[in-house]
């Protein structure tokens, strides 16, 4: 009977898969499904959790990713490719990423980035290349019915350039390849269940690009804007029963919405202040596939329109320059609302989610950098995310350590 059920699931899989929003948005955005969004397409149901913890370089993480206009103050790969033209020296950085989510610890390569400043007749020109782990998928979840363990990450392999096109006006562009994996192990605890559990494997490969401008409008003020162009991500998905080598698999493409960013950086003698605002219309998310029925593709695209909305994220950061020492201290805060409709209001009176209706993530971060002799720099950031799930507020943590050489 169990083998017959697995066979039926395999057949149904190829026709009915991709009815759930959680699979579509999971590579890019943390999205916790409540009861009305549990998988009802297949003969089995489970409340699959999708969680992606954004990561990056340590100084950007330390100031809450408020890096649209940081320019020369944050000498690393940031959200705005134009910023690298404001850095007058070359550098190599190696990062390590250390995370923890509900008892699951994950250690990985955070990235390797190289920036080079090229001498030109006037103005400045710089290039940057490297790889950065931009999303971390590790989590553990358990309730009365299931145990879910997820692992994996999404890497951005990028190459960009920027130049000063006019005095104090910098333009930049970047192209990227996206690669990664996200794996789920779902174990049923119900002894009466006909299936003990499933293993899901997702493999990602895609491309994206960025454009940006930074304007050094005053000696103490930078203004910046950038555009993350829509990404196209190819997904190979497979699912199998614990005791079966067979199962179902499918391939489909996800097209993500564009991200518009704007912000400023105020640079005073001892303190720098940073702010960035991100605008994303998640209703522009869509999929297509040659392996799925067109009715299945149309259904998930309608679900996107019916459930997702515009998201406005706030990023606030501060840097403190310790007098007489090559030491810099950083603080940051991020307000990251849920893409689900009607749950994206911003209130300074509630910076941390307190109940299920507060469907947003808040991130508090701090960090430091210290320049040693001969241009060697040590940087570190520590970040705590707050989010709500199953009436419980969860805390996820990231530590990002970097060793850089500037020349």
> Which CATH number is associated with domain 2-406?
2.40.160.60
Task: Please report the pLDDT score of residue 139 as a whole number.
Answer: 83
What letters, b where the CB count within 10 A reaches 16 and e where it falls short, cover 176-197? bebebebebebbbeeeeeebeb
In 39-168, DSSP assigns E strands to 53-54, 91-101, 104-118, 125-136, 139-142, 146-166
The dihedral through the CA atoms of 13, 15, 19, 24 has a sign that is positive
pLDDT digits 0-9 by tens, 41-90: 444 455 667 778 788 889 999 999 999 999 888 888 899 999 999 988 88
Q: Alpha helices, DSSP H only, in 71-219?
A: none
Residue 240 has pLDDT above 70, yes or no: yes
d(CA 383, CA 400): 8
pLDDT band at 192, cuts 50/70/90? low
d(CA 192, CA 130): 50
Task: Please report the pLDDT score of residue 31 as a whole number.
Answer: 61
Give the Cβ contact number of residue 155 at 10 Å: 20
> What backbone phi and psi angles, to 5 degrees, belong to 30?
-70, 125
d(CA 243, CA 247): 11
The vertex-132 CA angle with 233 and 331, nearest 5°, equals 120
Using the 8-state DSSP alphabet, how is residue 15 labeled?
H
d(CA 27, CA 215): 33
pLDDT digits 0-9 by tens, 254-295: 999 999 999 999 999 899 999 999 999 999 999 998 888 888
pLDDT digits 0-9 by tens, 328-357: 999 999 988 888 765 555 666 667 776 666
- Residue 215 CA, chain-centre distance (Å), reads 26
> Domain residue spans in the chain?
2-406
* Reported pTM: 0.87
């Amino acid at each position: 009977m169990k083998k017959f059920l697995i066979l039926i699931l395999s057949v149904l899989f190829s026709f009915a898969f991709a009815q759930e929003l959680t699979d579509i948005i999971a590579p890019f955005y943390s999205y916790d499904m409540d009861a009305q969004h549990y998988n009802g397409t297949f003969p089995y149901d489970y409340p699959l959790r999708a969680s992606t913890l954004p990561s990056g370089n340590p100084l950007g993480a330390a100031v809450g990713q408020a890096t649209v206009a940081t320019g020369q103050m944050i000498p690393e790969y940031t959200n705005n490719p134009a910023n690298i033209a404001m850095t007058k020296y070359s550098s190599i950085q190696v990062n390590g990423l250390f995370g923890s989510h509900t008892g699951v610890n994950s250690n990985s390569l955070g990235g390797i980035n190289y920036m080079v400043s090229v001498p030109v007749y006037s103005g400045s020109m710089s290039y940057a290349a490297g790889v950065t782990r931009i999303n971390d998928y590790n989590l553990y979840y358990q309730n009365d019915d299931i145990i879910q363990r997820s692992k994996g990450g999404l890497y951005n392999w990028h190459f960009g350039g920027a130049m000063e096109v006019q005095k104090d006006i910098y333009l930049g562009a970047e192209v990227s390849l996206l690669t990664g994996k996200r794996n789920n192990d779902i174990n049923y605890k119900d002894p009466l269940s006909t299936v003990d559990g499933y293993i899901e494997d997702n493999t990602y490969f895609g491309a994206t690009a960025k454009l940006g401008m930074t304007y050094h409008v005053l000696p103490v003020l930078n203004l910046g804007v950038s555009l993350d162009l829509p990404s196209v991500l190819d997904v190979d998905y497979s699912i199998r029963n614990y005791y079966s080598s067979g199962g179902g698999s499918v391939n489909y493409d996800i097209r993500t919405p564009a991200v518009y960013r704007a912000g400023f950086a105020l640079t005073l003698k001892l303190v720098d202040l940073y702010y960035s605002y991100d605008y994303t219309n998640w209703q522009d998310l869509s999929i297509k596939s040659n392996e799925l029925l067109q009715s299945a593709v149309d259904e998930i695209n309608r679900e996107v329109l019916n459930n997702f909305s515009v998201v406005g994220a706030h990023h606030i950061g501060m840097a403190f320059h310790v007098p007489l020492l090559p030491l810099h201290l950083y603080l940051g805060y991020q307000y990251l609302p849920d893409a689900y409709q009607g749950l994206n209001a911003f209130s300074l009176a509630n910076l941390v989610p307190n109940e299920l209706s507060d469907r947003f993530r808040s991130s508090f971060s701090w960090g430091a950098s210290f320049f040693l002799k001969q241009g060697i720099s040590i940087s570190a950031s520590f970040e705590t995310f707050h989010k709500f799930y199953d009436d419980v507020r969860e805390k996820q943590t990231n530590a990002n350590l970097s060793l850089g050489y500037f020349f």
